[in-house]
Structure 1
């Protein structure tokens, strides 16, 4: 059990660092061409997907005993805790959305409420439900204009605080809409229900998920090349539908994101199990335990410092600056986690969340 948790925390740390890289690039700027751009693009849409899948795994760990024991009193307590945490995350995310419109936490809270519906269903139904949500999305796009509300030149969303705009953004065309992103959490719930102490299962998960990821990428590339017939403008348009970009989150992206998330988490479990005493693994494990704290900190502190002391406007910095700052901030988070966990078992926001949802 401990080794399994170590691997999950390591994966959570890597997901948060990946999100810091992606978000800083988006906030500060990405002008200039370099190998850094190619490297940082690896995390686009995948780090956040992994973060949400890990949340599903966490929900599984939190509810496994209550579900298997069929104790109604325990189940009611666990369900109440999940409901309170979902509401808290929703409002934490909204509290700073003016400075960080691409927040995931308020979406995250709704994913938890959706996932709570499926907590007691059989594992295979969780996967089928996730697939249903994934393939529901293209049907919604036939009914509702995806661009409604968006100014994609500035990434501003008109009418966000109106009732229609808010609901549309939350459930359909925001940065991480409930449909279909809640499928990631359902997939994580399914994964967390499995025996992650069984190395054979974890290795099999790596092989199957990587195969699915590569097959999805290959199908995406081939379809775009065949249908565009060498026309670059057509290829760019097709990549929005058949590519693996998270906006809009169509089935090819969702399948690629969920499969690479399972592969990454499984790999972290195996590596952590084998090298649990390694200082790097230990540092990442401690960082993962403070994931919520660092997610909020990278917006409030990371962005805030540049706004106060920066010499350029946000969005105009070079890619080299954005990437370097993301690495420095991530290393600072790791150092803070190592120091903090000498005295406390959980992070400051994690502690507040636990107290408020008790």
Structure 2
């Protein structure tokens, strides 16, 4: 039996995952538009699209660390790794289908997350240069493919959407479920695979090195800012916004306001200029580059801040080590809170959940334990991995 020791856990990665968790919670609880206006709130400007994208990028980093870090596993060990990842993906997707049955307004990411893990399997054995090429190409080409495929798929799929979160009943309409997961849903995996590939690239770097951490921060900021500036140039002086306002959905919605908050409700068809936007959840190339750059910068910053003092970001890293459990708990709490009459103050609801998540995370860390859902997913994955290794021994 061939085995390698697992890479040392980096609290900076857990802290980045904690940022993603709290950012997503903020967008679920707080308003994204200033009440009575079409102005984006600070919550939307900071976290809309970026928090969930960071979640996916860090997931890719996690897959890279599971498969050897900056020295990827090979042969039998890699094959066993893939088996464990596949089982982990199925467990996460099943949890997502269960949560999909909870009455909530939250767009639950877990089913898409599980599918992304499965799609990443062919890439986890690639070395850094090949991964970087795939990631860059995917960020640029996948949105074009999605733009071309969406009209064709929606024209033949019946019913046209799952009308909410995926649940087990949607297996009765597999075409609709597949369309939602890959193209038309809130987190279309065709484009979002790019985030996982970027995470795999980052995870194949030597993340303990100061030069790498500074590079992630600097390159991430440049990519994020550059994507936004290029989009502004294309939409403004380039004439793209005027063309989009002439499309059916561009004329029906307050498009200029939505560019800061999200285009998930907009039918992005009728003009190639949709590929020039960098709006959250647009899935356009510049949106993907902006979110990936933002995620890389957050990861780099968290690694720098925890470089000498691993506990410096404990309120982020402790809950960040058990996000699956805390995310599921958050969905259930919000399902209950949304039914309260009168509705409680959103800021109070958010802070109570943030404080509770920090307390739970620190408690589990002090107990040297993982969250219940983390134990379920990792236990099933490790059992499958070990059985594969023993069979091949």
The answer, yes or no, to whether TM exceeds 0.5 is yes
Q: Larger relative contact order (C-alpha < 8 A, sep ≥ 6)?
A: 1
Counterpart position of 2:268: none
Q: Describe the superposition over 1:134-166 as per-residue Cα deviations: whole angstroms up to 9, x where unpaired.
A: 32322331243299499xxxx945999322211
Instruction: State the aligned residue count.
Output: 343
Counterpart position of 1:168: 179
Counterpart position of 1:48: 52
- Which one of 20, 24, 27 corresponds to residue 19 of structure 1? 24
Counterpart position of 1:220: 231
- Which one of 12, 35, 41 corresponds to residue 7 of structure 1? 12
Counterpart position of 1:329: 353
- What is the rounded CA distance, in whole Å, between the counterparts of 2:11 and 2:277 in structure 1? 34
Counterpart position of 2:202: 191
Matched, 1:294 2:322: no
Shift of 1:350: 0.8
Counterparts of 1:9-158 in structure 2, within 5 Å, are 9-25=14-30, 31-32=35-36, 37-64=41-68, 68=72, 70=74, 72=76, 74-98=77-101, 99-100=103-104, 102-134=107-139, 135-145=141-151, 148=154, 156=163
CA-based RMSD = 3.3
Counterpart position of 1:309: 340
- What is the rounded CA distance, in whole Å, between the counterparts of 1:274 and 1:199 in structure 2? 11
Counterpart position of 1:255: 289
Change over 3 Å in CA distance of 1:51–1:166 after alignment to 2: same
Shift of 1:129: 1.8
Counterpart position of 1:267: 301
Matched, 1:211 2:222: yes
Change over 3 Å in CA distance of 1:79–1:215 after alignment to 2: same
Q: Describe the superposition over 1:243-285 as per-residue Cα deviations: whole angstroms up to 9, x where unpaired.
A: 322333110110001011001001000001133343xx12322
Q: Is the 8 A contact 1:170 1:177 kept in 2?
A: yes
- What is the rounded CA distance, in whole Å, between the counterparts of 2:52 and 2:93 in structure 1? 16
Shift of 1:67: 6.5
Counterpart position of 2:379: 355
Q: TM-score, length-normalised on structure 2?
A: 0.78
- Tell me, which stretches of 5 or more residues in structure 1 are unaligned? none
Q: Is the 8 A contact 1:159 1:165 kept in 2?
A: no
- What is the rounded CA distance, in whole Å, between the counterparts of 1:344 and 1:230 in structure 2? 53
- Which one of 338, 341, 357 corresponds to residue 365 of structure 2? 341
Change over 3 Å in CA distance of 1:4–1:225 after alignment to 2: farther
Shift of 1:309: 3.1
Q: Is the 8 A contact 1:4 1:273 kept in 2?
A: no
Matched, 1:283 2:294: no
| Greater percentage in helix | 1
Change over 3 Å in CA distance of 1:44–1:338 after alignment to 2: same
DSSP-derived class of the 2:151 partner? coil
Counterpart position of 2:279: 245
